[in-house]
Chain A
Amino acid sequence: MYKLLLGWRYLKTRYLALVCVISVMLGVATLIVVNGVMAGFQTKLRDRLHGVLADITVEGLEFEGFHNPEAQMARIAASPVGKYVAVMSPTIESPAMLQYQFRGATITKMVKLIGVDAQSRAAIGGFSEYLQDNDGKPRPASFELSDAAKFRLDAFRAPTPPAPLEGLPTGPGEPPAPDNWIHEEKKITGAILGHGLAHFRQPKPDGSSVEVYTAEPGDIVTIVCPGGGKLTPEFDRFAVAGYFRSEMSEYDCGLVFVPFDHLQRLRGMQDRATAIQIKLTDYSKARLVVAELKNIFSPHLYAVQTWEDKQGPVLAAIEIERGILNVLLFLIVGVAGFGILAVFSMIVVEKTRDIGILKALGASNAGVLGIFLGYGLLLGTVGDVLGTGLGLTITSYLNEIEAFLSSLSGQHVFNRQVYNFATIPVDIRVSNVVWVNIGAIAVAAAFSLIPAFKAARMQPVRALRFE
C-alpha cells in the first residue's frame, strides 16, 4: 500500500518525472499514429491488390480449360464447403492482341482477354465498381453500348459493301474479306477496355496534362487471340462499351473484358471455361474451402488459390515493411526508457534518506524495490494513457491536421497524385494499440528496474546519514 502511495506522491511532486511521462507519451502516440496510417495504407493496398481477384479461383491448368463449367460449379455447391460459397462465375482468360486506329495510326497492344458473365462476375466483386464511361461516371455491369456509343458506332461504320460477286470461289482456310464482317445484320459485341489501354496523358506547355482518349465508346477495336484447342488465330471486332479503371496499372493497362459466351464461340471452346471465380460468404473460411476444393479438383488439372496466394509476395513485403518500421519506431520508446533510467537514478539519489527512513521503519528490500518499480509502472501507465489518447486523437483528425498544415505551408503535405487516395487512409487496430501499450509499460518497468535495485540494496544507516 505504501508503495502505491509513495509512487503516486512522487509522481505528483516531481516535475522531472513529467519528462518521462511526456517522452513515453510521445513515443506511444507516434507508434499509434504511424501504425494507424500504415495499417490504413495496408488495408487500401490490400483492397487494391485484391482488386479484380475473386476470393478464390479454381483454374484449369490445361490451355483449353476444362469441360462443362456448370457441372463443376454444381460440384462445388454440393460439396461440404458449398455453404460458404456466395457466388460463382465462370471465366475464360486468354492472351490476346488488341488493335485499333487512332488519328490514322494503328495502335497495337498485348492484353489479357477475359470472357466474363457480366452479371455473376459483378456479384463476385472487383469488377462492376471499377467500370466507367469516358466521362468518368460509373457504368452498369453489361456489355451493352450506351446510346451515345451506338450513335458513334453507326456514324463511323463503313457503308454496307456490295455483296460479293457470285461464283467467286472462297476456298477452305481462306480468311474472309475483312469488310464482310460489317454489314447490317451482324451485331457488334461490346468490349470493356482497361482504362490505360484507351487513353494517354498529354502534357501541356504549362506543365499540366490532359487526358486524351484514343478509343472512345462506340469505336471499333480488333482483337486477335489463340483458339481454344489448337493455336489457330481467331479474331473479331468489338465496339468499345466502357472502361475498367481500378487505379492498378497492372490491370488498367492489360485487361480487356468481353462477354463469356462470345469468347467461348470465338475460341471454339463450347461448354468450356478456364477458371471459376468464387466469392465466399465469410472470407475467414477461405483456408477451409481451399483445402476442400483441392480434394474435389485434382491438383494435376486444377489450381485452387485464394487471392492472397496469388498476391503472396507483395503482401508479405508490405507486412515485413510494417514489422521493420515498428521495430525502428519502438526505439523511440527505448529512448524514453533511457530518460526514465536517468531521471530515476537522480530521484533515487535524491530520495536516499527517505529510503533509509523506510528501511528503519521496517520496509523490506522488496518493498523499496516495489516503490520504484511501481513508480516506473505508474509513469509508464500515465504516459501510455496520455499517449494513447493523443495518438488516437491525431489519427482520427489526421486529414484535418493535414489540411491545416497544407494551408500553412501552401503545399500538399500528402500528395494525392502519388497514391490516388482522396484522403489519408487510417485504420486503428485494437490489438495494435494494446501491444504498443504493453510494450511501453514493459520498457518503463524494465528501465526503472536498475535504479530500483540500487535503492533496494541500500543500507539503512548509510542512507540515513547520507547528506
Chain B
Amino acid sequence: MLEAINLHKSYRRDAVSVSVLRGVDLAVREGEFLSVIGASGSGKSTLLHLLGALDTPDTGEVRFEGRRVDTLPARDRERLRNQSVGFVFQFYHLLPELTALENVLMPAMISRGILRWLGTRGAVRKQAMDLLDRVGLSHRLHHRPRELSGGELQRASIARALIMNPKVLLADEPTGNLDEGTGAGILTLLRGLHSDGLTIVMVTHNLELTLSTDRVVRLAAGRVETPSNPSLRLLSPAC
C-alpha cells in the first residue's frame, strides 16, 4: 500500500552535498509490520519522512495506495499527513503547552473548522480517552508533557498518531530513548495495534525488537538491502 520507487535524497549545506538516499526501493504491504534497521546516519528518519509526506524526494516516487503523493499539491499532502498517516517521533514531539489529552486531540482539531469541532467535540474526546486508556494513560489525561515520563510521552504520542484512524503508522525509533522494560511495553502495544489490522513501519536500532515484526529491511549506503547476516535472516522469517 505504501511504495518507494528509486528514491534519491541529498541534503545540501553550503557547497557540500550529502547524498543520504541513493535509489531506495521499498514496498510496504497492507497489514504488514515492517521494521527498518540501519546504522546511525544511514537515512532511516529521512526515508520515513519521505514516506509520511513530510518531505519530498529529489527524484523517485512515493506511492500511497497506488496514488503518487510526492508531487501532490500542498493541501492534499497536508490532508494525507493529517488523516492517512500516523507518525510517532523518536523524541515524542508533544506540544508542551497542551495536556496529554489535548495533544491527542490536536490532529482532530486541525482537521476540523471551529464549528465542526464544537459539533463533534464530545465524540472525539470520547475516542481520545479510549485511545489513552488503550495505551495505558487514562490516569494522566490532564498532565502536561513535562510532567510525564518518557514511556508515558511515547504512549501519548502513539495515541495522537491513532486519533484520525490512519491506514499506516510510521514509527521512528519509538523505543530509542526508553529503557528495555518500557520499550518492550511500547512494542507490545504496537503489536496489539498490528494484530487489529494496522500497517506499521518501525525504524529501530534494536535488533531484538525486529524479532516480533513481520519483515526486516536494512538501510545501508543509501539503499535498501535484505539483511545478509544469517542471524538476522533467521530473525526475519517473512523475508
Contacts and interface: CB of A to CB of B under 8 A. Distances in A.
Nearest to B113: A1
B75 interface: yes
Contacts of A359: 54, 78, 81
A310 B80 CA distance: 72
Given A2-B110, A459-B55, A362 B78 contact: yes
Interface in A345-386: 353-354, 356-365, 367
Interface in B105-149: 106-107, 109-114, 117-118
Interface stretch (B82-90, B185-193, B205-213): B82-90
Q: How large is the interface on A (under 10, 10 to 19, 20 to 34, 35 or more residues)?
A: 20 to 34
Interface stretch (A3-11, A231-239, A432-440): A3-11
B214 to A, nearest CB: 26
Nearest to A357: B93
B110 A367 contact: yes
Interface stretch (B26-34, B96-104, B216-224, B228-236): B96-104
Given A1-B109, A5-B102, A460-B55, A364 B117 contact: no
Contacts of A367: 110
A8 to B, nearest CB: 9
Interface string B30-48: 0000000000000000000
A363 B78 contact: yes
A354 B114 contact: no
Interface in B18-32: none
Nearest to A354: B95
A464 B81 CA distance: 15
A10 B97 contact: yes
A2 B55 contact: no
B184 to A, nearest CB: 26
Nearest to A459: B55
A362 B110 contact: yes
Given A4-B114, A5-B109, A367-B110, A357 B95 contact: yes
Interface string B41-66: 00000000100101100000000000
Contacts of A248: none
Contacts, number: 73
B98 A362 contact: no
B238 interface: no
A364 B96 contact: no
A417 interface: no
Interface string A5-38: 1100110010000000000000000000000000
A461 interface: yes
A191 B226 CA distance: 119
Contacts of A4: 114
B74 A364 contact: yes
Contacts of A464: 54, 89, 93
Contact of B109 (A2, A360, A364, A459): A2
A1 B75 contact: no
B68 interface: no
Interface string B168-190: 00000000000000000000000
A461 B97 contact: no
A453 to B, nearest CB: 15
Contacts of B160: 361
A9 B80 CA distance: 27
Contacts of B52: 360
A4 B117 CA distance: 12
B67 interface: no
Contacts of B98: 5-6, 9
A74 to B, nearest CB: 67
A239 to B, nearest CB: 81
Q: Specify which of A4, A360, A459 lies most central, judged by the most chain B CB atoms within 10 Å of its CB.
A: A360
A445 to B, nearest CB: 19
A465 to B, nearest CB: 9
A13 B99 CA distance: 13
A6 B102 CA distance: 10
B81 A361 contact: yes
A13 B49 contact: no
Contacts of B75: 364
Contacts of A353: 93
Contact of A360 (B79, B87, B97, B102): B87
8 smallest beta-carbon distances between A and B, as pairs: A362-B82, A9-B97, A2-B109, A1-B117, A362-B81, A461-B55, A1-B114, A357-B93
Interface of B: 49, 52, 54-55, 74-75, 78-83, 87, 89, 93-98, 102, 106-107, 109-114, 117-118, 160
Given A361-B82, A361-B110, 12 more contacts: A1-B109, A1-B117, A2-B106, A2-B109, A354-B95, A358-B110, A359-B54, A360-B52, A361-B106, A361-B107, A362-B79, A461-B55
16 contacts: A5-B102, A5-B109, A6-B98, A9-B98, A10-B97, A357-B94, A358-B95, A360-B54, A361-B110, A362-B81, A362-B83, A362-B107, A363-B110, A364-B75, A367-B110, A461-B54
